[in-house]
Structure 1
Amino acid sequence: MADWIEVCEFDDIDEEDVVRFDAGDRTFAVYRDTDGGVWATDGLCTHEMVHLADGLVMDDTIECPKHNGRFNYQTGEALRAPVCVNLKTYPARIRDGIVEIEI
């Protein structure tokens, strides 16, 4: 059975932006694209464990704020060195104006 967790209101995330969400001892990054879609990944860069919510979102890419490594936040794919390990992604949805992720 799916374990969907409420993150925030959809309007709390600007277009082409990311927010940090902590659940227990885990941290996630939740993104909003320009088409109104929401996406979720692990919240820490796979290179040096820096919070991605402090990074820059460009189109479907998140850039880590420490060493400028990039990931596709929709697929988790590592796109630019120094990152070489993909991010884990999680299903995300909007229900009644609330962003939820499945973990």
Structure 2
Amino acid sequence: MSGNWIEVCATDDIDEEDVIRFDHGGKTFAVYRSPDNQFFATDGLCTHERIHLADGLVMDDIIECPKHNGRFSYKTGEAKGAPVCVDLKTYPVKVEGGAVFIAV
């Protein structure tokens, strides 16, 4: 895992099966907590119309865009449902001392 580790939030700041928005260095990220208590990070804007994914709905390992209901796997970034066809970039995540970090 390369990159600079940036602290995003406390683990308790994200509910299970939910997402938060995190802005850093002029970029927007989405940070997720899965139903099995793992954390993931992707680009924060939908690849279809650049809408904030943190306003979307998380179900299992899927984030659904709030504008046109395109779906992505937040674990892999893979586009899973029309109208999205371009995958999201994903980022390494680690948890230390009750805090969530992403490598950017």
Where on the TM-score scale, by shorter chain, does this alignment land: which range? over 0.9
Correspondence 1:66 to 2:62: no
Question: What RMSD in Å do the two structures reach over aligned CA positions?
Answer: 0.7
User: For 1:62, what is the secondary structure of its paired residue?
Assistant: strand
Residue number in structure 2 paired with 1:20: 21
Residue number in structure 2 paired with 1:99: 100
Distance in 2 between residues matched to 1:2 and 1:81, nearest whole Å: 32
Residue number in structure 2 paired with 1:39: 40
Distance in 2 between residues matched to 1:55 and 1:48, nearest whole Å: 13
User: For 1:2, what is the secondary structure of its paired residue?
Assistant: coil
Q: CA deviation at 1:2?
A: 3.4
Structure 2 unmatched runs, 5+: none
Correspondence 1:84 to 2:94: no
Question: Match for 1:20: what amino acid?
Answer: R
Question: Match for 1:60: what amino acid?
Answer: D
State the aligned residue count: 103
**TM-score between both structures, scaled by the size of structure 2:** 0.97
**TM-score between both structures, scaled by the size of structure 1:** 0.98
Which consecutive aligned stretches of 4+ in structure 1 deviate over 4 angstroms post-superposition?
Answer: none
Q: String of CA shifts for 1:65-85, please: whole Å, max 9, x gaps.
A: 000000000000000000000
User: For 2:6, what is the secondary structure of its paired residue?
Assistant: strand
